[in-house]
Amino acid sequence: MKSYIFVTLAFILAATAASVVKNDAKYIIKDDDSPDTDWWKTAVFYQIYPRSFMDSDGDGIGDLQGIIQKLHHLQDAGVTATWLSPIFKSPQVDQGYDISDYRDIDPDYGTLDDLKELLELAKALGIKIILDFVPNHTSDQHEWFQKSVAKEKGYEDFYVWHDGKVVDGTRVPPNNWLSEFKGSAWEFNEERQQYYYHEFAIQQPDLNYSNPKVVEAMKDVLRYWLDFGVDGFRVDAVPYLFEDPEFKDEPLIDGCTDVTNKNCLDHIYTKDLPPTYDMIYEFREVLDNFTETNKVDTRVMMTEAYAAIEKQMLYYGNADGTVKGAHFTFNFGFISSLSKDFTVDDIVNAIRTWIKNIPDQYTSNWVLGNHDNRRVATRLGRENVDGFNMLTAILPGVMVTYNGEEIGMEDGEVTCEEGYDPQAIKDCSTFDQTSRDFERTPFHWDNTPNAGFTTGTPWLPVSAKAKDTNLADQNVEGVSSHYNVYKQLMEFRKNFQKTFALDTTSAIKLTDHVVQVGRYVDKDEFILVFNVGDFEEIVDFYRTKQSYKVVVTSVNSLYKPGDSVDELTLLPHESVILQGF
């Protein structure tokens, strides 16, 4: 089946790029962020999952020396910033998101000296290092928690404690609040004879943000790492910082009756509480003070919040930009709104929803995956890997890449017995649906045993797919590979960064199966056409009399960079970036 499309919009858009048309029913054109080009505004933030990136000492666990060994990979890829999932002291109940000492490195990953070494090398290579800041909860092994349990002076209210209720002579939790990791969010502590609140695992007690001492202690953690020399923070689980001080029961969502099902409760008392945003603005002040006092490059903050779009935007700051929050809050639109059988409409809507909601002065960002979600190649199809990397590369602002996306890595194979995800291993019967271990298996460096990740026994099994999908095979000049496409995209972004800081964006459904994303500034025009369907599609530009030069193509494409085209035949799942001339 072939369909013929006449693209007239591109010409009109190119001609009118300076005059901004907003909220058009068919497509969106919008002024991008402020024209200044601070380093982070057009950066690619590459997420390293340290435990699975590279193991230097053969214990089967990735570590800081491993990252040091492989830092040139980021440079080779063209990436200039990386955020590391937690490397701090931790019993590893939630793979490092349960921190027992915010100021030290877990021996699994190395030492403070290793981190120093990494920062120095990164600086020499021009790569920014961002750490994961986990403010909502600590490990139950943290000394603050131990002291709080013992009601030591100054620590009594560091966590969220409650006597609970007595029902029919039995003590029960104070309310119906549920943990993200299933079951009641309250755990009784024998020593203190009270319940403590934990949004996540039992071993992850929530800090009490209505206690100014907690706030100060956490700001000190930020200052400690800023002084250490890091370039910023990814801030974990921010919607959960505050809980309702009256501990009221959460209401059931309409039509739902199961109070033991987290999805049945409306989380008005445990999530997105109004003081949350002010807390983020306060954290931002700590960063800005450091940047100003020390006259250094901007230290950035990116927040992790799965929330309604209007709430997400509040993390950026207030609408007129006078109060600042996160430099950006992760845009999870391509994760939350696209499923296996996504359509062109879904992509266009995800883009438009974000762009319509983000105030003009803030910087957009685009995320395809992370350590909490199935890998994009598995979720949205490995044949679409290049198309999605192109989408996030061409869209305005920051691009976020989860390690492995540059080579099109799919999820690994893990059994419940081999898995570690605390919420999933509780119940093996649902492990396949709930576990996050699949997207956390070791990186595929090459096709030697254990994919070059470790000489020991990997903490999670290395995927059998490493034989066919690995960096060494893909990183060969002239070879058609996801990695070479990714490198070209990084080059493309670098070359047109300035242009992109000023331009306008459109997202259009060309046909049921072809999405077009355009970027326009003055006479420059770049478009991505991405065929998400299983049939050939023809895109022609006769009516606009516009000709295009091919800039980047997907692995299955027959076009080559530099080709001139005024018509394209897109193969199934082919994607091409073009420059108008």
235 phi and psi angles, rounded to 5 deg: -105, 120
At its nearest, how many Å lie between ligand NOJ and the CB of residue 421? 8
Indicate which of ligand NOJ, Mg ion, none lies near residue 414 (CB less than 5 to 8 Å, by partner kind): none
* Helix segments in 358-441, DSSP class H: 376-379, 385-394, 422-425, 431-434
Using the rule CB under 5 A, give the single segment among 121-129, 234-242, 497-505, 572-580 that binds Mg ion.
234-242
CB 259 within 8 A of CB 176: yes
The DSSP secondary structure of 350-369, one letter per residue, reads: HHHHHHHHS-TTSPPEEE--
Residues numbered 120-149 forming contacts with ligand NOJ, rule: CB under 6 A: 134
Q: Which of 108, 304, 405, 437 is catalytic?
A: 304
3-state secondary structure of 193: coil
Helix (H) or strand (E) holding 333: helix 333-336
Nearer to Mg ion, 160 or 578 (CB): 160
The answer to the question of residue 94 lying near ligand NOJ (CB under 6 A) is yes
Judged by CB under 6 A, the residue of 27, 186, 200, 328 near ligand NOJ is 200
Size, binding site for Mg ion by CB under 5 A: 3
Build a one-symbol-per-residue string for 372-411: x at contacts with ligand NOJ by CB under 6 A, - elsewhere. Answer: x---------------------------------------
What number of other Cβ atoms are within 10 A of residue 44's Cβ?
Answer: 23
CA atoms within 13 Å, Cβ hemisphere of 4: 3
3-state secondary structure of 505: strand
The answer to the question of residue 197 lying near ligand NOJ (CB under 6 A) is no
The answer to the question of residue 206 lying near Mg ion (CB under 5 A) is yes
Size, binding site for ligand NOJ by CB under 6 A: 9
The answer to the question of residue 236 lying near ligand NOJ (CB under 6 A) is yes
Nearer to ligand NOJ, 236 or 537 (CB): 236
The answer to the question of residue 109 lying near ligand NOJ (CB under 6 A) is no
At its nearest, how many Å lie between Mg ion and the CB of residue 321? 28
At its nearest, how many Å lie between Mg ion and the CB of residue 279? 11
Using the rule CB under 5 A, give the single segment among 1-9, 35-43, 45-53, 240-248 that binds Mg ion.
240-248
Is 236 noted as a catalytic residue in this protein? yes
How many Å apart are CA 192 and CA 57, to the nearest integer?
41
CB within 8 Å of 382: residues ≥ 6 apart:
408, 410
Using the rule CB under 5 A, give the single segment among 237-245, 347-355, 377-385, 450-458 that binds Mg ion.
237-245
CB 462 within 8 A of CB 438: no
Dihedral over Cα of 77, 80, 85, 89: its sign: positive
CB 543 within 8 A of CB 550: no
CB 393 within 8 A of CB 367: no
Strand partners, 574: none
Judged by CB under 5 A, the residue of 136, 176, 365, 469 near Mg ion is 136
Indicate which of ligand NOJ, Mg ion, none lies near residue 200 (CB less than 5 to 8 Å, by partner kind): ligand NOJ
Q: Which of 55, 140, 206, 236 is catalytic?
A: 236
Can you read off the two tokens belonging to residue 348? 């266009």
Indicate which of ligand NOJ, Mg ion, none lies near residue 237 (CB less than 5 to 8 Å, by partner kind): ligand NOJ
At its nearest, how many Å lie between Mg ion and the CB of residue 323? 22
CB 578 within 8 A of CB 565: yes
Is 157 noted as a catalytic residue in this protein? no
**CA-only gyration radius of the chain, Å:** 24
Residues within the interface to ligand NOJ (CB under 6 A): 94, 97, 134, 200, 236-237, 304, 371-372
**Residues classed as catalytic:** 236, 304
Residues within the interface to Mg ion (CB under 5 A): 136, 206, 240
